[in-house]
Structure 1
Amino acid sequence: MDATTLFAFSLAFAIAAASPGPGMAAVVARGLGGGFRGAFPMVLGLVVGDLVYLSFVTFGLAALAQRFGTVFLVVKWAGAAYLLYLAVKLWTAKPNPDEVRAAAAQGFVRTLLAGLSLTLGNPKTMVFYIALLPTLVPLERMTAVGFAELVGIVMVLLTAIGSAYAAAAAGAREMFRSPRALRRLNRTAGTVMAGAAAAIVAR
């Protein structure tokens, strides 16, 4: 896959992954309760879940891309509308510090599976992949090497971003309990999501 495509996907994925959502909120909660070591298995679970979605969406959409171009236009607009809806919800959300209260430490496997199930049950993750992949990656020309490159990007970036959230939560626990900080976090996420929706429509 060419360097421009890989860079564009990397940038879009990094923005999407860094935007606070249920997954990163869970990582923060785990970091508040069990520190970085307690949160890292959750990050790995999120990575595994993303790879499952990446695989399903890549191969599923690649088969459709050659036949149903109109489907992707509908999916693109639906994805943009959903991201805009999430942006509005984040902007209007009332911060509740109890939502990120400290969680008791759990075993490695149990925490990893919790992250995996959280991702698999999160429609926002699927929407991001469906909306971004067709506009950034030529799915009809996907090769084994190209797929491996995407897998590597997802693994490296999501692990790094999730670890940063875990480290921040472990090192600044009181900051994440502040309603004002939570409000800023929500509104930052809302702005990023609205920008992502606009970018999807623009393409």
Structure 2
Amino acid sequence: MSLIEFLPYVIALGIAAAIPGPGIAASVGKALGSGFRPAFYFMNGLVLGDLTYLTFAVLGLSAIAALFSGFFVVVKFAGAAYLLWLAWNFWRAGIDPEKMHAGQGAGFLSSFTAGFSVTMGNPKTIIFYMALLPSVIDLTTVTLQSYLILAVLTVIVLYLVVIPYIALASRARAFLRNPRALRLLNRGAATAMASAAAFIVIREG
């Protein structure tokens, strides 16, 4: 594949990633509630989820994925449940500024796993890689080299789209220090995460 043939994929992925969905909402909520670093961990989980679906699509595993649809349903609800748990903690953590910096669920593993679960259960991601991707890339011509290029492009595009969201959200968090502002900020984060969880559960696919 020539480099120009990757351009439709980059454009389509950039548009799909930039459209606010559960991944963006949860990332912003994580940044508002815990700061940039945990949100960055979370975002890397999202990226791994995208790479997983890209791999499924390239290897022609859509049919196998359909056979294991029950597993993805479990992942979907597990991711939504985790977001709701975070939403509950952030909703309650606004009165004491110290609680804000405690960052429940802000460690690498918990944040990364949550991001991965959100992507694996995100209908928008599933539809993009399993239905839309074949319309912009001829998957029958993908070699190991072109797959690696697609993977690198996926990481770059997602970083370029998501990092500004979490950077702005964490910056807004840094400017709000008094207990009242922190309470409002944490409840905003809780609302974003709860909305992302609801979107994941309600949407079919």
Q: Where do residues 46-65 of structure 1 align in structure 2 (5 Å cutoff)?
A: 46-60=46-60
Deviation, 1:38, is 2.0
State the partner residue of 1:19. Answer: 19
Q: Distance in 2 between matches of 1:24 and 1:36?
A: 14
Which runs of at least 4 in structure 1 moved beyond 3 Å after TM superposition? Answer: 98-105, 176-179
State the partner residue of 2:4. Answer: 4
Code of the residue aligned with 1:148 in structure 2: it is: L
1:61·1:139 contact (CA, 8 Å) conserved in 2? no
Unaligned stretches of 5+ residues in structure 1 = 64-97, 183-203
Deviation, 1:171, is 1.7
SS in structure 1 at match of 2:59: helix
Deviation, 1:133, is 1.6
Deviation, 1:9, is 0.7
Q: Distance in 1 between matches of 2:112 and 2:61?
A: 28
SS in structure 1 at match of 2:35: helix
Q: Distance in 2 between matches of 1:111 and 1:18?
A: 21
State the partner residue of 1:124. Answer: 124
SS in structure 2 at match of 1:60: coil
State the partner residue of 2:137. Answer: 137
- Report the TM-score when normalising by structure 2: 0.63
State the partner residue of 1:155. Answer: 155
Unaligned stretches of 5+ residues in structure 2 = 64-86, 94-99, 177-183, 192-205
Q: Using a 3 Å threshold, how does the CA distance of structure 1 residues 144 and 62 change in structure 2: closer, same or farther?
A: farther
Q: Percent identity?
A: 41
2:31·2:169 contact (CA, 8 Å) conserved in 1? yes
2:45·2:113 contact (CA, 8 Å) conserved in 1? yes
State the partner residue of 1:114. Answer: 114
Give the aligned length.
146
Q: Where do residues 143-182 of structure 1 align in structure 2 (5 Å cutoff)?
A: 143-173=143-173
State the partner residue of 2:199. Answer: none
Q: Distance in 2 between matches of 1:112 and 1:141?
A: 32
State the partner residue of 1:82. Answer: none
What value does the CA root-mean-square deviation take over the aligned residues? 2.9
Q: Distance in 2 between matches of 1:43 and 1:136?
A: 25
Kindly provide the CA deviation profile for residues 141-199 of structure 1, in whole angstroms up to 9, marking residues without a partner as x: 1111111110001111112222111101112358x9699xx9xxxxxxxxxxxxxxxxx
SS in structure 1 at match of 2:153: helix
